[in-house]
Amino acid sequence: MPECLTGVSTDQLVVEIVSVLEAHGMSAESYTLCEYVDPEALQKVISSADGDLEIRLTVGGVQLSITQDGVHTVNKPSTDQDQLYA
């Protein structure tokens, strides 16, 4: 996986996102990425950013943080509401 997302192709970005989602138990058949984000637009924004940039989105319950450094999951703090349904 690339260490930095600046200058990667749209296909490489999609592979990076899918790899992170699969690492968190989501099969590629359980979602359609383009229903959550436009990969081409995301790649253009990341590649054109001059400074720090973070884009957050949730795909099938997995919260992602996408920066120029890569795709990471976000650990949201649990709330009393989350604990009620855990």
Residue 1 lies in a domain: no
Residue 24 has, within 13 A of its CA and on its CB side, a CA count of 18
**Who's near 9: CB < 8 A, 6+ residues apart?**
43
Residue 57 lies in a domain: yes
Give residue 75's domain range: 10-84
CB 19 within 8 A of CB 8: no
**pTM to 2 decimals?**
0.76
Q: What is the pLDDT along the chain (86 residues), one digit of tens a residue?
A: 455 676 778 899 999 999 999 999 999 889 999 999 999 999 999 888 887 889 999 998 999 999 888 899 997 654 544 444 44
Residue 41 lies in a domain: yes
Residue 2 lies in a domain: no
Residue 34 lies in a domain: yes
Domain tally for the chain? 1
